[in-house]
Amino acid sequence: MISKRDLPLKLQAIDESNRSAHYYLAPDDKCYFLHEFTARKGYAHSPGNQFIFNFKKSPTKQAEPQYQHKLRAIQEAIFWYRSIFDQVNGSYTDCTYVPIPPSKKSDHSEYDDRMWRVVQGICQGNGADGRELILQTDSYDAAHLAGEGATRIKPDELRALYRVSDVPPKTKRILIRRRTFRRLSLQSRKRSDIRSISNCKRVRILSGTACDLKSL
């Protein structure tokens, strides 16, 4: 187990002082973050920006030396979250870890499996259950490549693209993602397949949130 002293980052809460920056979060959402990304400030602005820029490097760069920074960022994310989950009873035995799909379908040339790699790393060697339960039916433009002033995809639009492939075997689900939408697309929706993984515990990776970890 990694001690708190060894944690590279400390969880910080999203509260009334900063909730306005996360307008899809409800007041009763209990969320925490590790890194804060500042848009339009560039790579050198902060450690959080550096991490996000590296983590989001395109798969089309795999043959270039810079891609090693992405691989290192993935390992950092795995380390940070395992450091947290190692200290939470039941986080491995009672939970299924599910990556939220990226902007591109799995058959797209720019499909990025970074979140699935993080889930695999979290689960490796501890008996945890990781599954790609959420399938995406179409690709969309990545928000970070859309440019200033562009319209980001909305939760309702994402919901229309998602299908759930299976019912997870464990009662608690942790959704691994990079950014926050209010309860994403998976809470109390019309489609029964979406409801099958509703009421989940979720973790937002990177600038992410770890929601109600204490209740796992």
Tokens of 73: 């960022």
The Cα 163–Cα 161 span in angstroms is: 7
The Cα 163–Cα 26 span in angstroms is: 24
Average pLDDT over residues 89-105: 89
Name the nearest CA neighbour of 4 among 86, 73, 75: 86
Q: Per-residue pLDDT for 75 more than 60?
A: yes
Residue 215 CB contacts under 8 Å (≥ 6 apart), including other chains: 201
Average pLDDT over residues 33-45: 84
pLDDT at 29: 75
pLDDT at 120: 96
Q: Per-residue pLDDT for 119 more than 60?
A: yes
pLDDT tier at 146 (50, 70, 90 boundaries)? low
The separation between CA 41 and the C-alpha centre of its own chain, rounded to angstroms, equals 22
pLDDT at 89: 87
- Residue of 144 and 53 predicted with greater confidence: 53
The Cα 1–Cα 53 span in angstroms is: 29
Average pLDDT over residues 81-106: 88
Q: What are phi and psi of 135, to 5 degrees?
A: -105, 145
CB neighbour class for 178 (10 Å; exposed up to 12, middle 13-18, buried from 19): buried
Q: Per-residue pLDDT for 90 more than 60?
A: yes
Q: What is the three-state SS of the chain?
A: CCCHHHCCCCCEECCCCCHHHCCCCCCCCCCEECCCCCCCCCHHHCHHHHHHHHHCCCHHHCCCCCHHHHHHHHHHHHHHHHHHHCCCCCCCCCEEEEECCCCCCCCCCCCCCHHHHHHHHHHCCCCCEECCCEEECCCCCCHHHCCCCCCCCCHHHHHHHEEECCCCCCCEEEEEECCCCCCCCCCCCCCHHHHCCCCCEEEECCCCCECCHHHC
The single-letter code of the amino acid at 24 is: Y
pLDDT at 139: 92
Give percent of the chain above pLDDT 90: 27
pLDDT tier at 193 (50, 70, 90 boundaries)? very low
